[in-house]
Amino acid sequence: MNTDIHDIDLNLLTVFAQIYQDRKVSVAADNLGLSQPTISNALSRLRRLLDDELFLRTARGMQPTPLADQLAVPIANALTAIREALASQLVFDTTTSTRQFTVAMTDIGEFHFLPRLMKSLELAAPGVSISTIRNTAVNLRFEMESGKVDLAIGHLPDLTTDFHRRKLFSQRYVCLFRKGHTMDCQAPSLDAFSSADHALVISAGTGHGRADELIERAGIKRRIRLRVPHFVALADILESSDLVATVPEAFAIRSVKHFELTYVSHPIDLPAIEISLFWHAKYHREPANRWLRDQVIGHFRRGEASRESSK
């Protein structure tokens, strides 16, 4: 026997295993939900491919040949392995999973999403862990296509083809500075903004980077005294200096709670930046990915509703 595996239809092996178990074509047909002619045709194809009768019709039913006996256990094991593999993809058990998810986001995204998400995981998915990376630190398209990054959150206009997107919110930009600053008034002028010393967070390819591009495109000259690659220490720096920073309002709201800072509407008419959740189409129906997406969207909505009701 010299059979090419590419010639074997998986359905033929299913029919073989059922006939081997039931020893009657009619019973096998009923158990598989197929007609007897369909079962007989499948058996005929297998006989030709394997060059063996496989089953002989006797008074006691279809009796397997020595080759059929030899193939029965390996085929049954293979079909069982396939069924188990497929079944494992249909269910994501949060109570037992030890999956590590990787999410691309900025440090502001970590401020905004991770506290509520991690608190939820403690109860709903105690074995699940989250790892974050900066969405500008890797080839995000490739990493998400290969499954190394599960989700991305931010203003990511390059993720279009082969990606799904869910808008989470529109991010307004404001001016943040210490209390008592010369700009600490209801509506600071554009001249006051231009003459101030500024701190700039370098975030090319993000929503914040887009806001800086719009300021430059408007022809506004800023005296940049400090450039930093992230927001982590920005509030500390602003509190102890006369620097002004253009920041997302979510970051400003958080900062004024913990530091002697205040913020005002931006003197430049900056359009709101859309912050969205992205995932690759390849994993659109994958249960674990879908669960994590639901967590992010669900907790954001609850957080936004709570914030609105407190105003």
Residue 62 counted as domain residue: yes
Q: How far apart are CA 118 and CA 128, in angstroms?
A: 10
The reply to whether 133 and 264 lie within a common domain is: no
For residues 94 and 54, the answer to whether their CB atoms sit within 8 Å is no
In terms of Cα–Cα distance, which of 284, 207, 276 is closest to 246?
207
Read off the pTM: 0.67
The reply to whether 124 and 260 lie within a common domain is: no
Q: What is the pLDDT of residues 246-278, one digit of tens each?
A: 999 989 999 999 999 999 999 998 888 888 999
Residue 129 counted as domain residue: yes
How many distinct structural domains can be found in the chain?
3
The reply to whether 177 and 153 lie within a common domain is: no
The reply to whether 164 and 279 lie within a common domain is: yes
CATH number at residue 16: 1.10.10.10
User: What does the block give as tokens for 252?
Assistant: 């400003």
pLDDT recorded at residue 205:
61
The reply to whether 148 and 110 lie within a common domain is: yes
From 66, 90, 114, give the residue that closes a domain.
90
The CA angle 18-23-29, to the nearest 5 degrees, is: 50
The reply to whether 67 and 201 lie within a common domain is: no
Name residue, tokens 């188990």: 84
Residue 161 counted as domain residue: yes
From 56, 90, 124, give the residue that closes a domain.
90
pLDDT recorded at residue 211:
82
Residue 261 is part of which domain span? Answer: 173-271
The reply to whether 17 and 144 lie within a common domain is: no
Name residue, tokens 């297998």: 46
In terms of Cα–Cα distance, which of 222, 245, 227, 235 is closest to 175?
245
The reply to whether 115 and 259 lie within a common domain is: no
Residue 95 counted as domain residue: no
CATH number at residue 147: 3.40.190.10
Q: Are strands 100-104 and 129-133 parallel, antiparallel or unpaired?
A: parallel
The reply to whether 165 and 177 lie within a common domain is: no
- Count of positions (residues) in the chain: 311
Phi, psi of 159 (to 5 degrees): -90, 85
Q: How far apart are CA 216 and CA 221, in angstroms?
A: 7
**Series of mean pLDDT values for 10-residue runs along the chain (311 residues):** 64 92 92 91 91 91 93 91 74 90 91 88 92 85 92 88 91 94 88 93 73 85 91 94 94 94 92 90 91 88 43 38
